Amino acid sequence: MTKTPVTLNELLLTRKKVVTDIQSRLGEDAKRFLVSLHDGAPDFDIIDRPQAANLPAVRWKILNIKKLMTENPEKHAEQLTQLEELLG
């Protein structure tokens, strides 16, 4: 809940700005990493963080991604399409 009213148009414009900002800041390595993460086999070397593969939250996320791939491949594919659109 906000203290200041916000119109739907303002929210949509803000979303567009955020997407544009993300697209302008992400390098090719970060984009490749995000796609590899989506595929359930993240290449942490791409982002120079190989130790991140051992973090419990990261391992849990990968398990959930693999579960989604198995149980709902259509949703997983849809999410890839959305990710690729976001990344530009």
Predicted TM-score (pTM) of this structure: 0.78
- Buried residues in 49-74 as b, exposed as e (16+ CB within 10 A): eeeeeeeeebeeeeeebeeeeeeeee
Look at residue 1 in the predicted model and tell me its pLDDT.
Answer: 63
Considering the domain boundaries, does residue 57 fall inside one?
A: yes
Cα(51)–Cα(45) distance, integer angstroms = 9
Which domain range does residue 42 map to?
A: 17-87
Dump pLDDT digits (tens) for 46-66: 999 999 999 999 999 999 999
Count Cα atoms within 13 angstroms, Cβ side, for 46: 16
How many domains would you assign to the chain?
A: 1
Considering the domain boundaries, does residue 11 fall inside one?
A: no
